[in-house]
Amino acid sequence: MNRIALLSTDKIWPCVLASEYPEIYFDLFSTNDHRCNYLFMDMALKHCLYQNLKQYDLICIEIGPIRNCAPVTNNFDIKESMWITHTKKNYEPSKSINKELRNVLYHKSKVEFADSDIDMSYYAKLFIISLYKQSKNIPIKFFSMNAYMGDNIGIEDMLENDMQVVNKLKGFIL
């Protein structure tokens, strides 16, 4: 494998995983706001599949809460990327890894939104169904943390900690 995309909330597992495979390039798309999780993941996945033109050998997606959000006033040029790409020093979870990860690019969304505690579950269900269907043709592996929404890594339960995630995903990295 040459390149892997990781779509995550701000957790440690992407950094642990990347540290174990220094020869593989990782693109990490993360949000620290769980409340827009599935919408963020949907937009990050669209970016990976249809916009950034990188060929990923594996896309790992952490599914979580299914709440919604609403855009707030910004003034971005949409032809620019919605992502801010930076290095480890700005990414809090990476500090738990006691070595520099030169094989990771961290992509943070720069868009802001108003969050809401209302579940938008119909959209989320469709997103999960779309992941199941697309994973037949695209190397997508998704799993649940915090709340079980589905997975295609054969556990049918949510993963409770970062090391569980790392150990499970290592089985899919050739």
- Which residue matches tokens 């079980």? 148
- Sole binder of other proteins in the list 20, 84, 114, 160 (CB under 8 A): 114
- Tokens 């050998």, residue located: 57
Q: Are strands 104-109 and 25-31 parallel, antiparallel or unpaired?
A: parallel
| DSSP string for residues in the chain | --EEEEEEES-SHHHHHHHH-TTSEEEEEEES-GGGHHHHHHHHHHIIIIIS----SEEEEEE---EEEEE------TTS-SEEEE-GGG-GGGGGSSS--TTEEEEEE---EEEEEEE-HHHHHHHHHHHHHHTTTS-EEEEEBSS----SSS--S-B-SHHHHHHHHHTT--
Question: Is 76 near other proteins (CB under 8 A)?
Answer: yes
Q: Does 51 bind other proteins (CB under 8 A)?
A: yes
| Contact range with other proteins by CB under 8 A, out of 7-15, 55-63, 72-80, 143-151 | 72-80
* From 1-9, 91-99, 105-113, 143-151, span contacting other proteins (CB under 8 A): 105-113
Q: Which of 75, 154, 157, 174 binds other proteins (CB under 8 A)?
A: 75
Q: Which of residues 116-135 bind other proteins (CB under 8 A)?
A: 116, 118-123, 125-127, 129-130, 132-134
Q: Which is nearer to other proteins, 118 or 163 (CB)?
A: 118
In whole angstroms, how close is the CB of 3 to other proteins at the nearest point?
A: 19
Closer residue to other proteins in complex, CB, 88/125: 125
Q: Is 82 a residue that touches other proteins (CB under 8 A)?
A: yes
Residue ranges in contact with other proteins by CB under 8 A: 39, 42-43, 46-47, 49-51, 68-79, 82, 111-114, 116, 118-123, 125-127, 129-130, 132-134
